Amino acid sequence: MKNKTNIKKIVLAYSGGLDTSIITTWLKENYGEHTEVIAVSGHLGQDAELEGIEERAKIAGVSKLYVENLQEELVNDFIFPMLKAGAKYEGYLLGTAIARPSVAKRLVEIALLEGADAICHGCTGKGNDQVRFELTIQALAPGMKIIAPWREWDIASRDDAIDYAEHHDIKLKITRETNYSKDMNLWHLSHEGMDLEDPANEPQYNKEGFLEMGVSPEQAPDVPEYVTVAFEAGVPVALNGEPLDGVTLIKKLNGIAGKHGVGIFDVVENRLVGMKSRGVYETPGGTVLYHAHEVLESICLDKETMHEKAHLAMKYAELIYNGKWYTPLREAIDAFVNKTQETVSGEVKLKLYKGNIINAGVSSPNSLYSEEFASFNEDDVYDQSDAKGFINLYGLPIKMKALAEQKKRDDR
């Protein structure tokens, strides 16, 4: 970056992990010893990772630390809109991607409050997160300078980063043996790197300490457990009959579903920057909520709306994955989704057993399902002879084409 001498105050996205632990030292080395670094850590439900973060930040040399509780905002303003849209990216429930605009938004707010000259993040030049952070910053503070050390420094790998930390006597919470790249919030936990970089390797689900939000299906109880999720206008509002706020509901459901080995997803995905990447995701409560929401929609939405919504869900997922949350298109799709969700209220009962989610009943005051019409028994509401005329008209283009081809053959 040019004009480094003009940068006197930097707001740093700070997690206390490997990258951000060394970045403060690197910033001082490259932007001047007197450069003020203000660290901002978003509390997204990764409770254990935040333990001792004040002391780590102090040792790292930051002048001020903000620990911002963003859990309620993340759930209500980002996760639940995503859930209502049914957005999945190649099967991935977007746990990391959906959290980035929330954190980046707060970075911008604090940078403007503090009169900072730049915002710094620790995302690599190979990953998606650099795009997610920077597009949000561009949308909310288009004149703000951005510093991305991974695109500037000589450090080329996580081993190099550990070497740098050891050379500068920076204490880390990881070792080379436990050096998975992880991202955690109340919605999910991701695992990348090390043995997972080879898709031929089976993830070590049963190895102690690998899974953190639950257990493998093999280690799950031999007895199933039922859960009931209630929705209002597409938003989950109660679990097993108990009204709960969104944060509490997700955390409680994480515990229940994780115990039964639900929500483990191993995928080779297509990154925004062009390469394929292998990751393992734990999303126990989120997987149950997506399943329950889909079941409820199946009785509350008409066919055409349901099918059109499925098309838009893919686009919505791509917008999240590609860092385009703050765009007119996302807002427009939200308007469509919110209209579709007006009738998506009711209860869904599910059975959790060894990694499986099994439907166990669904009800809604807005259900479009009619037992009278769907029944195989005798009824007075459906005249089966009507089907003959319908099929003749519906199949007329097929029949006309076949007749034309038959005439051609007969004329030869």
In degrees, rounded to 5, the angle at the alpha carbon of residue 81 between the alpha carbons of residues 77 and 84 is 155
Do the Cβ atoms of 231 and 345 come closer than 8 Å?
A: yes
User: pTM of the predicted model, to two decimals?
Assistant: 0.91
pLDDT at 179: 67
In degrees, rounded to 5, the angle at the alpha carbon of residue 296 between the alpha carbons of residues 290 and 300 is 135
Amino acid type, 327? T
For 264-278, the pLDDT digits (tens) are: 999 999 999 889 999
pLDDT at 15: 83
CATH superfamily of 4-79+96-181: HUPs (3.40.50.620)
Interatomic CA distance for residues 60 and 140, integer angstroms: 28
Do the Cβ atoms of 247 and 186 come closer than 8 Å?
A: yes
Does 412 participate in catalysis according to the annotation?
no
β-partners of residue 359 are 350
Statement: residue 157 has pLDDT above 80: no
Please tell me the CATH code under which domain 189-301+344-363 is placed: 3.90.1260.10
Indicate the pLDDT class of residue 162, thresholds 50, 70 and 90.
Answer: confident
User: For residue 181, which phi and psi values (nearest 5 degrees)?
Assistant: -85, 115
Average pLDDT, the chain: 92
> What percent of the chain has a predicted confidence (pLDDT) above 90?
73
In this structure, what token pair is assigned to residue 35? Answer: 């450069």
Statement: residue 40 has pLDDT above 60: yes
In this structure, what token pair is assigned to residue 218? Answer: 């093999």
Segment 144-170 shows an average pLDDT of: 84
Does 100 participate in catalysis according to the annotation?
yes
Statement: residue 177 has pLDDT above 70: no
Based on the number of CB atoms within 10 Å of its own CB, is 354 exposed (0-12), middle (13-18) or buried (19 or more)?
A: middle
Based on the number of CB atoms within 10 Å of its own CB, is 295 exposed (0-12), middle (13-18) or buried (19 or more)?
A: buried
Segment 167-176 shows an average pLDDT of: 67
Q: Say which range, 12-21, 98-107, 223-232, has the weakest mean pLDDT.
A: 12-21
Segment 211-238 shows an average pLDDT of: 98
For 316-366, the pLDDT digits (tens) are: 999 999 999 999 999 999 999 999 999 999 999 999 999 999 999 999 999
Please tell me the total number of residues recorded for the chain in this structure: 412
Sheet of 276-282, strands arranged across:
181-184, 189-192, 276-282, 264-270
Instruction: Select which of 181, 190, 345, 364 is catalytic.
Output: 181
Q: Where in the chain are the domains? A: 4-79+96-181, 189-301+344-363
Instruction: Select which of 19, 106, 345, 364 is catalytic.
Output: 19
Instruction: Identify the sign of the CA torsion 340, 341, 344, 349.
Output: positive
Segment 147-171 shows an average pLDDT of: 82
Statement: residue 310 has pLDDT above 70: yes
Instruction: Select which of 129, 183, 190, 345 is catalytic.
Output: 129
Interatomic CA distance for residues 11 and 8, integer angstroms: 10
pLDDT at 167: 79
Statement: residue 125 has pLDDT above 70: yes
> What percent of the chain has a predicted confidence (pLDDT) above 70?
94
Instruction: Identify the sign of the CA torsion 6, 11, 15, 16.
Output: positive
pLDDT at 171: 67
The rounded radius of gyration (Å) of the Cα atoms in the chain is: 26
Which of 115-119, 166-170, 372-376 reaches the highest mean pLDDT?
115-119
Statement: residue 99 has pLDDT above 60: yes
Count CB-CB contacts under 10 A for residue 391. 10
Interatomic CA distance for residues 260 and 404, integer angstroms: 59
Interatomic CA distance for residues 362 and 28, integer angstroms: 58
For 101-117, the pLDDT digits (tens) are: 999 999 999 999 999 99
Segment 299-307 shows an average pLDDT of: 97
Coil, helix or strand at residue 175: coil
Amino acid type, 241? G
Q: What one-character-per-residue DSSP string does 335-352 give? A: HHHHHHGGG--EEEEEEE
Does 132 participate in catalysis according to the annotation?
no
pLDDT at 22: 87
Statement: residue 223 has pLDDT above 60: yes
Does 19 participate in catalysis according to the annotation?
yes
pLDDT at 1: 44
- 281 or 386, greater pLDDT: 281
Instruction: Select which of 21, 56, 100, 364 is catalytic.
Output: 100
In this structure, what token pair is assigned to residue 239? Answer: 């679990």
